[in-house]
Each structure stands twice: as structure tokens, then as C-alpha cells.
Amino acid sequence: MRRILSNVWPRAAAANHGQIQLLSDLHLEVGQQYASYAAFPQTAPYLLLAGDVGRLTDYQPYAAFLAAQAARYDRVFLVLGNHEFWGLRYEAAIDTARRLCAEPALRGRVELMHRRRWDCPRTRLSVLGCTLWSRIPREAFAAVRDKVRDFRRIEGWTPEEHVRHHEEDVAWLRDENSETQEKMSDESLDLKAASEAAVAKFQLERVLNQDQAGRRTSLVGTVDGKPALLILERATFPTTEGYLGRLPGSLARLQNLGANDVYSWHMARAGADAAGETAADFYPDLKINLIYPCTESHVKKYSKQGVRFVTETPALYRDKIRPYMQSKRDQGRLNWVFNIIEGHKEVEDIIYRTPLGAAGDEGFLLLPDLNWDRSTLDALHLLGLVERRDLWSLRDLKKKHIPWLQHMKAKLTDATVATYPSIEADQLKLYVHYQPTYYHFHIHIVHVALEAGATQATGKARAVDPGL
């Protein structure tokens, strides 16, 4: 005969409570093993005894076995198998099982699953249980009656009774399953509506954390007076060209941060302003960099790149890399750098500089990198530009440059800490790129908490220190 546990849904509150340990066909009546088998290993909070555990005619030892399990498990589900009915009439066996499960020693923890649904309080765990007698074709009645011992061991049991209870079990299970599915659908809709309403009720108490890029913020507060966490994360951009094509022209507000040569950078808001909001209340949700007019080199830079680790020999540098650097410098791609050094552009952004020309070959300046939003300190990214134009990359550095590098590192660090007092010197990283994006020697100054993406990858970023 078949027993079935149908429709078990994990608890929403704790997935562990959705785990059910299953035992069946123990046949403890053989050798009266009810007491000796009562301490088997427990592997889950719920226990399903799925039929043929013992016989109901062994009432006292069966009750003692169930009491032992009720003391160990949060809940015990008892499904009757065909052997439970042996020695009794069908109706008498059901009555006996109900009386057994109601024994005080079982502490109300044993559930008789005879065409019954059990719902775990305050969770979404539901259990549907029935014996589900097997289907017997009418033409097999005679053979089954002769060969299956149930028809001799269960009082008054006949193939007709067997089939009738099979059909009643199936009908009950189908109806209950359908009702459960409808209930789950309704509960799911209710849960969605309630969760959406809860977001709008969130009352902020304090900000817990914000990632370095400012894309994810964790807040603690309350909803209806109960503690709640709200994690805000910027969604990814849709990939449809229709949306992306409309976006630049649909921006509600746009604020320029700076412009230099073909480059400009802005903060923007995609959504409409809130009622009563003033210009001082501008909270952007987009940072926009514009390169106009752009070149094919710009297009290649911002396209998906293949990456390789290459061992650069002196011959490779002399024959391939250095000529490539020269060609890029000759294309006017450093005009924006020279504009800054000569004081034509971004003058108001300069954080520190040596007097222009006064330091000879050792002059340098410090300003924000165009990729930084200028407000998220954990994502701090500054740029140190040297005045001299004969240093294209770290390949041009010599031993004689070490004191100058040490001096420059100290000055850049001091200027950063003085400008942003909440940052300490040991929270800064200074490094150079090889290969750099543009061939004029420069140093990156970033917060140690800045997410180490591809620009800080091993082999790409080299720390500025005496061992450089």
C-alpha cells in the first residue's frame, strides 16, 4: 500500500523548520521493538511516520514509542499504513488512532494525518496527509482477495471497501490540494501588497553603511514601530536601446561639475523633482561623463576589452611600446592635461600645487579625478599630475627620482588629509598604472575602502613607495 505526504512548503520564517525526517515500514510489531528503537538519531525538527510503523492493536507499546518521539520532535505526523489496521475493522482502527494521538503523554505533538491538513502557526508550512490506498482494477478483485493478506487481517475488509477508500482519499487530496494552491496564491498576493506598503512606511533612524561607489546603502529604522532594515541599491540600466536613447533628453536636472577640452562631467537626476524642492535640494541619481567630440580611440577605450598578462622585455618596449606611446602623444590626447598644468582649466578644482614653474622639474599638482562624484569619501579618487613632460610612464623613472617621489607622496598625502579631515593618512593608497590610460606621468590617490576593480588589479597598479 502507498502512503503520501503532500504539499510541504518551507517556512518563511526559518527554512530549517521546513525539514522533515521520514521513517516508514519499521514494523516494530515484529519482536516488539517499540522500546528498543525509540532512540534513533534525530535529523530534523519534524518527524513523519509514513505508515507500517507498528500495529494499533499494540496500543500501549505503540503509545510509549510515540511519546518518546513527541519528547524529541517539535511535531510528529502519523500516517496509517495497511499494517496499522491489522486485527481491527477500518472504522475501529481510525478511532483507536485518534485516541492514541490524544494520549496526554504525547503532549499534543502527534498529528494523525487521516485526510487531514495541518498548518504550522505563523508560517507557510502546510502538510496534507492520508493513507491513499492503492487502486485495484475490478477485474483483479478475485486474485487480490486471495493473495493479499490485508483481506484476511483487517476485519471486514474487501476489494470493494479498499477501492472505495482509495477513491475517497484521492478525492480528498485533490480538493485539498486545489484549495491549498488557491490559498497560497491569495497569500502570495497579500504578502506582496503588504511588503510594498511596508516600504513606504519605513522611518529612518540612522544610516548603517554605504558602499564605496555609493550604489548600495543600508539603513536601520522602523515600520509600524517595529525595527526594520532597508537596503537601497541602484538597479542596473535596462539594455533596450529605446530606453537608453530617450534617457539623455529626459533628465529632470543636470549639474555640470567641470569641463576640459573634449571632456565634461555632470551630476543628474532621471526622475522629477519633489514638490517644494529647491535648487539647493538637488540629490542626483546619475553621474554623467561626456566626451565630445570623441575619437575612435575613445570608443575603443570604453568598449569591452580583452585582457592579457604580457611580459614586457626591453626590446618589446623599445620596438613596440615606446613608438605606440609617441603616436598617442602626437594625436593631441594630452591637451586636457596641459590645460590643467598651465592653469587654463579646472583652476577652481586644484587642491594643492607647487607654484607653476617654480619647482622646475619637480613641480606637481593635486585635483579630483573626473570619475569621483566629489562627495562619497569612501570612494575618494584624486589625481596627482607632474608638471614635467618628459616622464610618460613609470618606465621613465630612474633611481635619481626616488627622493622626488618620496617628497611628492608626502605632500600629496598631507594635502589630501588637510582637505578631507575625516580621512587619515593610513587610509590612503597611492599608485601608478602601467600601462596608463594617457602617457603623462601621474599618480592616483584613493581611499583604501574604494572597491578594488580592474584599475587596481595586480600587474596594473603599482604602489608609490621607495621600492617602486
In angstroms, the Cα distances linking 359 to 18, 329, 354, 397 are: 73, 24, 7, 18
Q: How far is Cα 336 from Cα 458, in angstroms, rounded to an integer?
A: 28
Query: From the candidates 266, 442, 444, 447, which is the catalytic residue?
Result: 442
Q: How far is Cα 302 from Cα 304, in angstroms, rounded to an integer?
A: 7
The order of strands in the sheet holding 381-386 is: 352-353, 364-368, 381-386, 442-447, 428-433, 461-463
In angstroms, the Cα distances linking 199 to 13, 224, 466 are: 19, 11, 53
Q: How far is Cα 452 from Cα 464, in angstroms, rounded to an integer?
A: 16
Q: How far is Cα 211 from Cα 55, in angstroms, rounded to an integer?
A: 63
Sign of CA dihedral 337, 342, 345, 350: positive
Q: How far is Cα 244 from Cα 224, in angstroms, rounded to an integer?
A: 38
Q: What DSSP element (H or E) covers 194?
A: helix 159-201
3-state SS of 37-91?
CCCCCCCCCEEEEECCCCCCCCHHHHHHHHHHHHCCCCEEEEECCHHHHCCCEHH
The order of strands in the sheet holding 286-291 is: 253-260, 263-269, 286-291
Secondary structure letter of residue 319 according to DSSP: I
442 an active-site residue?
Answer: yes
Q: How far is Cα 395 from Cα 406, in angstroms, rounded to an integer?
A: 17
List % helix, strand, coil for the chain (3-state, nearest 5).
35, 20, 40
Cell matching residue 328 = 598617442
Beta-bridge partner residues of 447: 428
Angle at alpha carbon of residue 265, lines to 260 and 270, rounded to 5°: 155
Task: Tell me which residues are annotated as active site.
Answer: 442
